[in-house]
Structure 1
Amino acid sequence: MKQFYADLHIHIGRTRSGKAVKITGARTLTFSNVLQVASERKGLDLIGIIDCHSPEIIEEIEAAILDGEIIEKCEGGLLYKNTTIIPGSEIEIYDHNCNGPIHVLSYFPSLKAMKEFSTWMSGHVKNITLSSQRIYCDGRTLQKIVKSLGGLFIPAHVFTPFKSLYGKGVQSSLTEVFDPGLIDAIELGLSADTKMVKNIAELESYAFVTNSDAHSLGKIAREYQKIQLEEPSFAELEKALHEKENRKVIANYGLNPLLGKYHQTVCSACFHQVLNISGPCSACGNKSIIKGVSSRIQELSIVKMDGEYKRERPPYIHQVPLDFIPGLGPKSMEKLLEAFGTEMNILHDVTLEQLKEIVHDKLAGYIDAARKGTLIFEAGGGGKYGKVKKES
């Protein structure tokens, strides 16, 4: 068995011809750029690109296969250099069973299966070319279609205040929307970690994944996981999510929840932290409050007795992405990449002494502290990211 780094939630901003896919995604976030950055700069072994239902993206994949740039793997997935792509789609549900919208992720073993899903999906959305489109069917129907094509189904960023399973405070159980037996894992989102959600009983049977939800090239791998597999492929990923044959997620690497932009409850006008959710903002009097992830998780949690925990979770490591580190600008970043190859190497393999040979001691210290989780943060909320304040 080997260990591999995986980010399973990466968007496409624009097609090769410049047409929008994820409207809020960067123009530079093209399929080819994602492959290059994820493989050569970030050093990821496995990536989920979740806008592959878009017909022009399918055409780009087909062209890359014909050119020999991408190879279809027998065990599922598409190989680009040292990185395996899992083609997927992010979809928005809003049906009579829920007060959505709710975002979900579906992944497929082959381009053929992805094309079949795209064809089916085109009859149930208004614009098949765009990302995260609302689908006009219920959640269970969508699950069955994904499973009939051999796919994986994962509710996305389940605690964020907008477009998530639990976020709006209406659903109290995933069974209100989904067939629990057809869920392969749960994506926590940027403002939550394993420890925060340990008392939500209905999630105990699922593996947790932590992904970037990247809308720009720089945000790829801001959250990811280390997975134990024989080799990166769709079939191996499926086994890992269900902890079969010693395949498993062995560590989650994510933002300290304080850095997430929806962690605390805040006023929607001035972003002042609000402690009394039912009352107006004490700073400006505004009555529109955005409930934070931490508050929502507390509502869903049931405190358990000692010894009641059944599932042993892998460690969740609070690792600050290199983009967040104070003083780490483009020039310093390029120096580090030239010396050490990829961001995964910088974050996991390089010693503090090696860092000091390339950048000044203070910056090297910040990078090392970020890796060890010893930085102090200013909490985020209401759509505003938290900030790194200083080293503790």
Structure 2
Amino acid sequence: MKHYFADMHIHIGKDMENRPVKITGAKNLTLTNILKESSRNKGMNLIGVIDCQVPNVQKEIRRLIEEGEARELPAGGIRFERVTLLLGSEIEVYDEYCHGPIHVLCFMPSLENMEQFTRWLAKRMKNVTLSSQRYYGTAKELQYKVKELEGIFIPAHIFTPFKSLYGKGVRRSLEEVFDPDLIDGVELGLSSDTEMADQIKELHRFTFLTNSDAHSLPKIGREYQMMQLQEPSFKEFYWALHQVKERKVIKNFGMNPKLGKYYTTVCGKCFTRFPKGSSTCPKCGSAKIINGVADRIKELKNASGPDGNRPPYIYQVPLEYLPTLGPKTYKKLLQQFETEMNIIHHVSYEQLKEVIPEKLAQSIIAMREGRLAIHAGGGGKYGSVSSEEMERKS
């Protein structure tokens, strides 16, 4: 049994014919570029690309297989160099039983299964060539189809104010929309962590995932998990979600929730932080409120927290968040130490000092240990790392 790094929520910006897939995704965020970046620079072992219902994406996968650059694994997934791709689809659910919309992630074990899923979706979706499209049907019907195709079903970024299970989809319980027995795990999203999520009792039964929701190549791996698997494959990932035969998530690595876009409750017009109990913005007078994740969880809270069986949740920020770490320095680090995972987890302070300035080396170690000071985000704006506070703490 070995430990592997996994980021299971990555978007595609353009397909192989240069047509848009995720409208807000970067133009160079193609499937092949994602595979190369994940394998060569990021050091990811397992990734979930969640726009694989798109026919042209499937076509690109088949081309990679035909050209000998990739191969399907017997246990599910596509191996490319040092990374395994799991074929996923992010779908927007909004049916008569929920307030919605709710985003969910559906993973299939093989290209053939995903092609079947695409044909099914095409009858219930206006445009299967685009990412995160509205599905016309009930949430449970979608769950049943995913399980019929031997797939994995995961509610995505479950607390964000927009397009999520608890942010928009339900008043109190996921059972208002989903069959909990057909959920394989839940994705926390950038504005929450294990301690926050485990204040909701019905989530105690599920494995928590921390993923990047990457819309550009640099964002791959900004959140991820370390998993204990026999090999990176679909079957092993499924077993880890259900803790079968010692497969499991060992550690969750995520940004401090305060760095997320939606941690605090803010004014929807000027993004000033909303004081608790206020009905209008103290700065501009607007009554439009974007409810923050922290406040929403307080509304839902019905448990004291985790029972001690959760893997540790370790605060990290991506290398690109570090002040003074520019593109040239980043390239120098990769040339010396190969991948971001090596730099973040394994390279010693003494080794770093030989390549980059001492203060930056201190910052990377502080990041590794979760000691970086941050300013909270909210209302669609990310939080930030403060260089002055970081220096005082390092």
- TM category (shorter chain) comes to over 0.9
Deviations 1:191-231 (A, max 9, x none): 00001122200000000000000000010000000000011
Q: How does 1:87-126 map to 2 (within 5 A)?
A: 87-126=87-126
Q: Could you list the per-position Cα deviations for residues 269-308 of structure 1 after superposition, in whole angstroms to 9, with x for gaps in the alignment?
A: 221111235510111111111000000011111244xxx9
Corresponding residue of 1:212? 212
Are 1:289 and 2:289 an aligned pair?
yes
On the 8 A contact 2:242/2:248 being kept in 1, the answer is: yes
CA contact (8 A) 2:201 2:303 kept: no
Q: Distance in 2 between matches of 1:139 and 1:194?
A: 25
What's 1:373 paired with?
A: 370
**Distance across 1 between alignment mates of 2:209 and 2:303:** 23
Q: Which residue of 322, 340, 343 corresponds with 1:325?
A: 322
- Deviation of the 1:170 alpha carbon: 4.3
CA contact (8 A) 1:87 1:108 kept: yes
What secondary structure is seen at the aligned counterpart in 2 of 1:14?
coil
Provide the rounded CA distance (Å) in 1 between the counterparts of 2:46 and 2:276. Answer: 43
Partner of 1:44: 44
Correspondence 1:385 to 2:377? no
Residues 265 and 277 in structure 1, CA contact (< 8 A), matched pair in contact too: no
Specify the code of the residue in structure 2 equivalent to 1:119: R
Match of 1:313 in 2: 310
Instruction: Report if aligned partners of 2:170, 2:177 keep a CA contact under 8 Å in 1.
Output: no
Aligned partner of 1:358 in structure 2 is: 355
How far off its partner does 1:185 sit?
0.1
User: What corresponds to 1:56 in structure 2?
Assistant: 56
2:82 aligns to what? 82
Aligned residue pairs total 389
Q: CA RMSD in A?
A: 1.1
- TM-score normalised per structure 1: 0.98
Give structure 1 regions of 4+ aligned residues with deviation exceeding 6 angstroms: none
Q: Which amino acid aligns with 1:186?
A: V
The amino acid that maps onto 2:329 is S
Partner of 1:137: 137
Gapped runs of 5+ residues in structure 2?
Answer: none
Q: Tell me how far apart the structure 2 counterparts of residues 125 and 172 of structure 1 sit (CA, whole Å).
A: 28
Name the CA shift for 1:311/1:181 in 2 (closer, same or farther; >3 Å): farther
Task: Note the C-alpha offset of 1:323.
Answer: 1.1
Q: Secondary structure of the residue that 1:106 maps to in structure 2?
A: strand
* Secondary structure of 2:85 counterpart: strand
Distance 2:110 2:170 in 1: 36
The percentage of counterpart residues that share the same residue type is 54
Could you say if the C-alpha distance between residues 93 and 331 of structure 1 is closer, same or farther in structure 2, counting changes exceeding 3 Å? same
Say whether the 8 Å CA contact 2:163–2:169 is kept in structure 1.
no
* 1:75-126 Cα shifts (integer Å, max 9, x gaps): 1110000100000100000000001110000001100001000111111000
What is the distance in 2 between the residues matched to 1:277 and 1:55? 49
Letter in 2 for 1:173: S
Contact 2:100 2:169 in 1 (8 A): no
Helix, strand or coil for the counterpart of 2:197?
coil
The answer for unaligned runs of 5 or more in structure 1 is none
Aligned mates of 2:274, 2:306 — CA distance in 1: 32
Q: How high is the TM-score relative to the length of structure 2?
A: 0.97
The one-letter code of the counterpart of 1:81 is E
Query: Counterpart of 1:340 in structure 2: which amino acid?
Result: F
Does structure 1 retain, via aligned residues, the 8 Å contact 2:102–2:168? no
